[in-house]
Amino acid sequence: MAIRFMGFSSITLALVALTSFAAPRALGQETRPLTVSEAMENLASTYSQDYFSNRSIGRQAGRMFGFGFPERELEWDAHSLSAASRDTMYRQNSMDPVLRVTDLTNPYSTSLLTMKGSGSANLGTQFIFEGR
């Protein structure tokens, strides 16, 4: 029994060593984070995929046999897109302190008669429309 176990363990050890040498080397690639628009675009077609993937023979055959309902996939995509947009709006609006500024001066809050300028208002300069 011990001899068989030694044979099995040496074969297993040899296979592990062989696969570790034959495995492709991992490349250190710099990945950039997705922008908000790219992430939203990816979420819009996560479950339902794009038009060309939906028209493949495998997808159509699956739908004939009851696998994959297009309406349900679109609902899942819409739900994930809605949740992501809510989260994005929450992060954009509530993470920073609220900035309060004074109102700008409004030139339309006064009239020509009440403006301080030449000292007295010029009466009779208003246009009076006389309808006929």
Give the number of other Cβ atoms within 10 Å of residue 48's Cβ. Answer: 19
Q: What is residue 87's predicted lDDT score, i.e. its pLDDT?
A: 93
Report which of 53, 80, 78 is spatially closest to residue 68, judged by C-alpha positions: 53
Q: What are phi and psi of 52, to 5 degrees?
A: -70, -35
Q: Which residues, given as ranges, of the chain have pLDDT below 70? A: 1-8, 18, 20-28, 98-101, 107, 110, 112-132
Spatial contact of 54 and 70, defined as CB atoms under 8 Å apart = yes
**Stretch (H or E) spanning 38:** helix 36-44
Per-residue model confidence as pLDDT tens digits over 3-16: 555 556 777 777 77
Taking CA atoms, 4 is separated from 13, 52, 76, 111, in Å, by 14, 54, 54, 105
Per-residue model confidence as pLDDT tens digits over 110-121: 676 666 665 555
The number of C-alpha atoms within 13 Å of 46 and in the hemisphere containing its C-beta is: 14
Give the number of other Cβ atoms within 10 Å of residue 40's Cβ. Answer: 15
Instruction: For the chain, give every domain's residue range.
Output: 34-93
Q: What is residue 26's predicted lDDT score, i.e. its pLDDT?
A: 66
Spatial contact of 45 and 77, defined as CB atoms under 8 Å apart = yes
Q: What is residue 128's predicted lDDT score, i.e. its pLDDT?
A: 61
Q: What is residue 104's predicted lDDT score, i.e. its pLDDT?
A: 73
